[in-house]
Amino acid sequence: MSFTIDLEGRRALVTGAGQGVGLGIARTLAQAGAVVAVNDIRAAQADIVVDELRTAGYKADALPFDVTDWAQVSAAIDGYGGVDILVNNAGNAGAEGSMLPSDFLASDPAEWGAFFAVNLFGVMYCTRAALPSMIEAGWGRVVTIVSDAGRYGTAKVAPYAAAKAGAAGFCRSIAREMGRHAITVNCVSLSTIETPTTARPAAGTAEEEEARRARLRPYVIRRRGTPEDVAGLVAFLSSSHASWITGQTYAVNGGFTFSL
């Protein structure tokens, strides 16, 4: 007897699925049988992922929109006819680019908004647009990718950490509201994942190798995570196997932190 995650017949929207963690999640949900709506702010990138999935024999559609724009979010999800599974993965600073670590007192308040727009309001917008069809169906899954920066606290990324912590708190609140509709709402908290935006050149000199080791020292499993490390848990939480799990935050972090 084998254990399988079967998402056949489910429609799953993954935001920020054009690369990295989102792409890994989209692939895994498609492999589990879901029709995957691939979101990215770059329409061309969403099309590339859809072509890859369809070529592999999976079911996928491109659904490009900017998660920070409520009008775009609601029009896209309503026009798609709703979804059964929402994975809020789009993050960082969105179209504004990646975060550059800095002391909070050196940060510019004018730059904080980009982090909240994607990591908090983007999650709220997509969840607000996706819930009505889930309620109508009497079944739904919302999985939000948050960060150990907000769960545990990481120096020099305070605006990002605050936005991610806000998303986790929002999801706990929505979990309490949605349980009566058989809709679960959970978070997956990540430490550093190897993606195109976090990739570093291979260590060369002794100094570079020591710097690499120092970065990995806080991790019990001494490597960076991969999108595949994340995708399996997201697929499980998206399935019927996780029907009695809601309001939780699960760390996928190589042992960077422990919690009871």
Strands (E), the chain: 11-14, 35-38, 60-62, 85-88, 140-147, 183-190, 249-252
CB 150 within 8 A of CB 163: yes
58 a catalytic residue: no
Q: Which residues of 191-226 are buried (b: 16+ CB within 10 A; e: fewer)?
A: bbbbbeeeeeeeeeeeeeeeebeeeeeebeeeebbe
Q: How far is CA 69 from the centre of its chain?
A: 18
C-alpha 64/C-alpha 234 separation (Å) is 21
Q: Which of 80, 125, 152, 160 is catalytic?
A: 160
CB 37 within 8 A of CB 17: no
Please state, as a whole number, how many other Cβ atoms lie within 10 Å of the Cβ of residue 108: 8
Distance (Å) of CA 67 to CA 90, 206, 216: 8, 43, 32
3-class secondary structure, 14:
strand
Structure tokens of 58? 């999976």
Residue positions annotated with a catalytic role: 160
